[in-house]
């Protein structure tokens, strides 16, 4: 019996003792295949899932290396049945392969004939498969390549896609040679993506995902469609591509609510692509407007359902997903795996921080005690409205102001989910607000003023969750969110992780109402960041305000 930090249980949960000297090494070893579920102070709970094991298998980890990691760090003998199950689950990946046959085109090949017979009989594959060619091969309708992969994943037999890619229309793209080079992890991410052909690169916010995209474009040297969350993010991509590559402004088109330009490199927003007229998605033709050699999905964890449906038809195009977290609150990680591709590169946030590429961050949860009137309002509220009532309590306002004043020399982002609350904060802090209805012109004006230091405090709605380049933001104060969203927590911390010129620390505060569902959701939100090694300190609002609590009318 070893004294390792891990307890491996037969129900596929892994318990990691955080204070053990080998805990960090163990965390690194199990991260490629285990998913963090809970992260209280002393013992973190991970779970083995088929998708996690298949992602590891697609990334080149075999069952032997997974089993070795479990045995190496386990405090007690690992249940034999679990080791068998790990090996058998990982072995299910790749027993079916999609390949291009010289004589028959796209085919599904079974390395295990019986598995091929099993899936061919499934009604879930109706219409996707063509004629049986021989005992090991069935023809596949090329237009069904993506949907077939989705269906096979749900049947528990994820296919390895070896059918290759079309090169698309060639377009010369080179990285600019003006004193910058890719960081080692960025190059590894590009190499991992290109070797696999399609897939997802996971990097923390501020670690240069856009540069990974630019380098992938320079590798492909082909027309590229880039999908982004909003117009502001698209224009940031354009600025970066002009600065970092040989592309000129004339070569890059914007396809948004404001412009409809289709060029060799086209940057389109998810919003315009998923907008409907008369019930039809009128802009999805953009996917077929050029012979794209590469499609890049920025913030792939936010990919809307209609884009998934159309991506199923793009399986012959190279596809690169970029994200800070593969967590999806709608549970569609399997669709990302089957349609965009498996995880090709995943850098632990603390590794990137230790190399100095993102700022070190302090995470603090500030707990506020509601007034008796607020507690009564919460108590009599219907269950579905309780989070909003707790999250938007006016008692939070002086706490937020005290936190802003605690950092007089820093630039501060105050982020929330409820518009009424944001307007209260804007008035209380005398700070401008950026929300969904703010025009792109006004957004860019305020972001520029913030970047230049003219503005010190900015109040943001959920538009601040992603794709905003604000390198000098050093403090984020979160007052409300999308319930218990782990992905949102990661994105919001990411707003302050860009490295500071003088190496100073970033601060991430979450202001939470005590004795309400607000604290439960906060704990759930923190799970992903806890997996990345961030510890939250819990403090009382009185410690921020001092003993005299200001009264709010």
In order, the DSSP letters of 141-169 are -GGGHHHHHHHHHHTT-PPEE-S-----S
Query: Same structural domain for residues 511 and 457?
Result: yes
Of 43, 71, 92, the domain-final residue: 92
Query: Same structural domain for residues 25 and 102?
Result: no
Residue 336 included in any domain: yes
> Percent helix, strand, coil in the chain (nearest 5)?
40, 20, 35
Residue 138, CB-side half-sphere exposure with 13 Å CA sphere: 26
Of 63, 92, 121, the domain-final residue: 92
Q: How far apart are CA 287 and CA 313, in angstroms?
A: 9
First to last CA, the chain: 62
Angle at 160 between CA 156 and CA 162, to 5 degrees: 160
Q: How far apart are CA 519 and CA 468, in angstroms?
A: 27
Residue 292 included in any domain: yes
Query: Same structural domain for residues 151 and 192?
Result: no
Residue 173 included in any domain: no
pLDDT at 553: 47
Q: How far apart are CA 385 and CA 553, in angstroms?
A: 22
| pLDDT > 80? residue 503 | no
| pLDDT > 80? residue 540 | yes
DSSP 505: P
Query: Same structural domain for residues 135 and 199?
Result: no
Residues 6+ apart with CB under 8 A from 219: 190, 194
Mean per-residue pLDDT, 224-250? 92
pLDDT at 464: 66
Of 62, 92, 122, the domain-final residue: 92
Residue 257 included in any domain: yes
- Structural contact between residues 422 and 376, judged by C-beta atoms closer than 8 angstroms: no
Query: Same structural domain for residues 152 and 212?
Result: no
Q: What dihedral angle (degrees, nearest 10) is formed by the CA atoms of 233, 471, 246, 270?
A: -10
Q: What dihedral angle (degrees, nearest 10) is formed by the CA atoms of 375, 376, 377, 381?
A: 100
- Structural contact between residues 493 and 534, judged by C-beta atoms closer than 8 angstroms: yes
Residues 3-36: tens digit of each pLDDT: 899 999 999 999 999 889 999 899 889 988 998 7
Residues 326-341: tens digit of each pLDDT: 777 677 888 888 889 8
- Structural domain tally of the chain? 4
Give phi and psi for 170, each to the nearest 5: -65, 140
pLDDT at 551: 47
381-395, 457-471, 498-512, range with greatest mean pLDDT: 381-395
- Structural contact between residues 8 and 74, judged by C-beta atoms closer than 8 angstroms: yes
Residue 179 included in any domain: no
Task: Name the percent of the chain lying above pLDDT 90.
Answer: 56
Closest to 304 in 3D by CA, of 284, 325, 324, 320: 284
Residue 376 included in any domain: yes
Residue 171 included in any domain: no
pLDDT at 355: 86
Query: Same structural domain for residues 403 and 295?
Result: no
Q: What dihedral angle (degrees, nearest 10) is formed by the CA atoms of 448, 453, 459, 460?
A: 40
Full domain range(s) for residue 455: 353-545
DSSP 170: B
Residues 157-181: tens digit of each pLDDT: 999 999 999 999 999 999 998 767 8
Beta bridge partners of 13: 47
Mean per-residue pLDDT, 278-302? 85
| Other CB atoms within 10 Å distance of the CB of residue 432 | 17
Query: Same structural domain for residues 306 and 261?
Result: yes
Query: Same structural domain for residues 438 and 332?
Result: no
Q: How far apart are CA 292 and CA 167, in angstroms?
A: 8
Residues in the chain: 553
Question: With bands split at pLDDT 50, 70 and 90, how would you rate the model's confidence at 465?
Answer: low
The lowest-confidence range among 35-44, 462-471, 498-507 is 462-471
Query: Same structural domain for residues 294 and 156?
Result: no
Query: Same structural domain for residues 333 and 423?
Result: no
| pLDDT > 90? residue 466 | no
Residue 551 included in any domain: no
| Other CB atoms within 10 Å distance of the CB of residue 100 | 13
Query: Same structural domain for residues 343 and 358?
Result: no
Q: What is the mean pLDDT of the chain?
A: 88
Query: Same structural domain for residues 108 and 74?
Result: no
What's the CATH code of the domain at 279? 3.40.50.300
């Amino acid at each position: 019996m070893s004294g390792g930090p891990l307890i491996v249980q037969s129900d596929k949960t892994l318990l990691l003792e955080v204070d053990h000297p080998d805990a960090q090494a163990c965390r690194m070893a199990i991260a490629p295949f285990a998913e963090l579920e809970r992260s209280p102070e002393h013992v973190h709970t991970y779970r083995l899932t088929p998708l996690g094991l298949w992602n590891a298998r697609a990334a080149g980890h075999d069952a032997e290396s997974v089993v070795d990691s479990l045995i190496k760090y386990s405090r007690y003998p690992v249940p034999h049945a679990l080791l068998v199950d790990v090996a058998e689950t990982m072995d299910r990946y790749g027993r079916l392969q999609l390949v291009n046959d010289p004589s028959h085109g796209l085919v599904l090949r079974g390395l295990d004939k019986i598995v091929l017979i099993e899936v061919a009989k499934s009604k879930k594959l109706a219409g996707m498969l063509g004629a049986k060619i021989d005992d090991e091969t069935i023809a596949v309708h090329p237009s069904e390549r993506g949907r077939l992969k989705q269906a096979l994943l749900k049947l528990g037999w994820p296919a390895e896609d070896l059918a290759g890619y079309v090169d698309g229309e060639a377009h010369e793209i080179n990285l600019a040679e003006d004193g910058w080079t890719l960081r080692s992890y960025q190059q590894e991410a590009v190499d991992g993506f290109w070797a696999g052909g399609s897939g997802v690169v996971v990097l923390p916010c501020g670690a240069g995902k856009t540069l990974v995209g630019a380098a992938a474009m320079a590798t492909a040297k082909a027309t590229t469609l880039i999908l982004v969350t909003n117009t502001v993010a698209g224009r940031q991509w354009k600025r970066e591509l002009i600065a970092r590559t040989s592309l000129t402004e004339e070569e890059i088109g914007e396809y948004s609510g404001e412009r409809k330009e289709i060029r060799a490199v086209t940057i389109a927003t998810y919003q315009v692509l998923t907008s409907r007229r008369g019930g039809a998605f009128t802009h999805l033709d953009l996917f077929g407007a050029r012979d794209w050699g590469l499609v890049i999905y920025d913030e792939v964890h936010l990919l809307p359902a209609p884009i998934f449906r159309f991506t199923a038809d793009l399986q012959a195009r190279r596809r690169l997903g970029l994200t800070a977290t593969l967590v999806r609150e709608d549970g569609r990680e399997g669709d990302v795996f089957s349609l965009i591709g498996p995880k090709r590169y995943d850098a632990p946030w603390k590794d990137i921080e230790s190399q100095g590429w993102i700022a070190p961050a302090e995470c603090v949860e500030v707990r506020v005690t509601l007034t008796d009137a607020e507690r009564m309002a919460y108590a009599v509220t219907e269950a579905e409205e309780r989070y909003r009532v707790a999250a938007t309590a006016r008692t939070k306002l002086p706490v937020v102001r005290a936190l802003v004043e605690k950092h007089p020399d820093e630039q501060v982002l105050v982020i929330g989910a409820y518009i009424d609350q944001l307007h209260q904060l804007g008035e209380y802090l005398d700070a401008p607000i950026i929300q969904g209805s703010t025009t792109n012109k006004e957004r860019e004006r305020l972001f520029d003023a913030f970047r230049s230091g003219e503005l010190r405090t900015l109040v943001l709605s959920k538009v601040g969750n992603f794709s905003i380049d604000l390198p000098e933001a050093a403090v984020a104060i979160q007052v409300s969110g999308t319930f218990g969203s782990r992905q949102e927590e990661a994105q919001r911390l990411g707003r302050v992780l860009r490295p500071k010129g003088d190496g100073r620390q970033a601060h991430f505060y979450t202001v939470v109402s005590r004795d309400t569902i607000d604290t439960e959701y906060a704990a759930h939100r923190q799970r992903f960041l806890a997996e990345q090694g961030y510890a939250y300190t819990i403090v009382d609002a009185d410690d921020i305000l001092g003993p005299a609590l200001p009264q709010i009318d």
